[in-house]
Structure 1
Amino acid sequence: MSYNLYLDESKVKYNGEWGYCVAGVIIEDSQLYRVRKDLGHIKTSIWKEQIGYGAAKRIVLHEVEVRSHRPNVLIKRPEYSSFLRAENVRIVVNGIGNIISNHELPVIGALENQTQVERSYLTKRSSYSSYYLALKQIIENFCHFLKQHRATGTIIFESRKSGNSNIQDKRVRKMFMKIMAHGTLRYSSMDLQEVVSGIQFIQKQENDAGLQIADFVPHPFLLHYFRIEQTKPSIYQNLRKARYTGGIGERSGAAKFGMCIFE
């Protein structure tokens, strides 16, 4: 069997503290067709009357923009004017939550209270170090998942390529290769390389279903951690229940293998 882990990131500042989260969903290759079909149904339910089925399915969903009514978003993406209706926001957000729940897509991620880490370890807040810390933990837990399922898997990110520059993708790839070469706290490089096949970067315009679903995952965990009221509609409960437990039960397993907290 082969799995893909789709990841996205989010950050927040609350009461003077910075939080950072990288998280996403695991989708087995045989599930991809049904997941894509369900995501396409969400889109066509909103836009089919305006622009037809084909064009509706090609629209790319982003959580921040779905929830935003800012004029610059509507100018750039006029089709998003549909989200001026609260009902359409509910269709998308709850639809994403239902895909995760109905297909039992495991959630894996890592969350860092950057301010607390800075204070505790006498270091300076750094996006690079936060990303590296999160990625290392996520690779370790993805490795555990793959070993449990006797499978191999690929980690997939949304490409940050801009124009002719893909420096950000190169930095993430460098982190990934470093972790794969040196191993983690619990897994050697050989352990990782036996099951983690590689890393891919997919651009927004490719309309990848896994990445669009992953886009809705990290932010609710940050809101919960900082005790900020969840943005309505919320799929936090779907995500919480979907955390990978490592086979040892939700109470202890989800915090160890699903959403790891660093503070």
Structure 2
Amino acid sequence: MKNEYYLFLDETKPNAHGSYFALGGYAIKREDYENILKPQLQKIKSDLMPQPELPLHLYDMRKNIKGFEFLVDAKIRKSLFDRIKNLVQSLDISVFVASIDTENYKNMYYGQTNDIYDIALQTILENFLHFLLVNKGVGSFFIESSNQAENKFLQICYYRLLTGGTLFINSDTIMKNLSILSFPLKSDNNLGVQLADFIPVSFVRKLIGSKDYCGLYKLFESKLYRGYGGNMEERFGFKKLLE
């Protein structure tokens, strides 16, 4: 029987601080998610958050807004992030990120560009497939629900890759090893997606020279999928497109 893996993903979009788009997250064995990550992360939230059902969202946590006002207490903030980081450190996860400088992309190709989400999703899918082949596994994608139009677009992109293959991997291999693409709602309190929220922004902050917030980049960088031979993390773990 093959190992079953979940890949939890989130994205960060260009903003006033930079033109990078990134899609990123982590792969984890289904049983590790169910038996370790879920109960332990929920306990951390229950121990330290006034509203444990509130979804973790790094931007709001950094700004102490939308339910995270309690993090103005530096002691509680440190305790919350330390416990989350210790949990991540203990987990057997593999991190995947794909980034692209959207302005550079537009300039390089004179504005005749494809959708950046589609490009990043192809990269992540291909690298996750490599991971599954190495680990003799099958996998499922989880991306937090956005809106109906965006969910539909991603579903179309996903199934086009499943049925048409990618540059390096044929469709038969993809179909055999990948299952569904799911869109958990914020109200579902999906802890796997909540943790994925910390990843792409941490790598973008590194790209634009911002401070490593609470050491998250260093932590997730240590968990990057290293790819073929165990030393190709820049190709299979953190893929900086067009760079």
Q: Normalising to structure 1: TM-score of the pair? A: 0.85
Alpha-carbon deviations, 1:214-247, whole Å to 9, x = none? 010000100111222233x231111111000114
Q: Pick from 41, 46, 49: which aligns with 1:44? A: 46
Alpha-carbon deviations, 1:39-97, whole Å to 9, x = none? 112212213xx5xxxx63x2321111111134xx2xxx3xx221121232223333333
Give, in whole Å, the separation in 1 of the partners of 2:38 and 2:220. 19
Task: Check conservation: 2:212, 2:218, Cα contact below 8 A.
Answer: no
Alpha carbons of structure 1 residues 180 and 201: separation in structure 2 relative to 1, 3 Å: same
Alpha carbons of structure 1 residues 93 and 247: separation in structure 2 relative to 1, 3 Å: farther
Paired residue type of 1:197: S
Across the two proteins, how many residue pairs are aligned to each other? 239
Look up the match of 2:118.
132
Q: Which aligned pairs between 1:75-224 and structure 2 lie closer than 5 A?
A: 77=67, 80-123=68-111, 129-161=115-147, 166-224=148-206
SS of residue matched to 2:146? coil
Root-mean-square deviation over aligned CA pairs:
1.9
Look up the match of 2:224.
243
Give, in whole Å, the separation in 1 of the partners of 2:150 and 2:15. 23
Give, in whole Å, the separation in 2 of the partners of 1:26 and 1:213. 11
Give, in whole Å, the separation in 2 of the partners of 1:124 and 1:228. 30
SS of residue matched to 2:124? helix
Give, in whole Å, the separation in 2 of the partners of 1:129 and 1:167. 14
Look up the match of 1:8.
10
Paired residue type of 2:61: V
Gaps spanning 5+ residues in structure 2: where?
none
Q: Pick from 38, 53, 63: which aligns with 1:68? A: 63
Q: CA deviation at 1:112?
A: 0.5
- Worse overlay, 189-198 or 86-95: 86-95
Give, in whole Å, the separation in 2 of the partners of 1:171 and 1:177. 10
Q: Normalising to structure 2: TM-score of the pair? A: 0.91
Alpha-carbon deviations, 1:77-135, whole Å to 9, x = none? 3xx2211212322233333332222112110120101112222222257xx71101100
Task: Check conservation: 2:64, 2:70, Cα contact below 8 A.
Answer: no
Look up the match of 1:227.
209
Give, in whole Å, the separation in 1 of the partners of 2:98 and 2:129. 15
Give, in whole Å, the separation in 1 of the partners of 2:197 and 2:102. 21
Give, in whole Å, the separation in 2 of the partners of 1:93 and 1:170. 34
SS of residue matched to 1:217? helix
Give, in whole Å, the separation in 2 of the partners of 1:212 and 1:242. 17
Give, in whole Å, the separation in 1 of the partners of 2:186 and 2:193. 9
Gaps spanning 5+ residues in structure 1: where?
none
Alpha carbons of structure 1 residues 229 and 81: separation in structure 2 relative to 1, 3 Å: closer
Task: Check conservation: 2:7, 2:27, Cα contact below 8 A.
Answer: yes
Task: Check conservation: 1:156, 1:200, Cα contact below 8 A.
Answer: yes
Look up the match of 1:27.
28
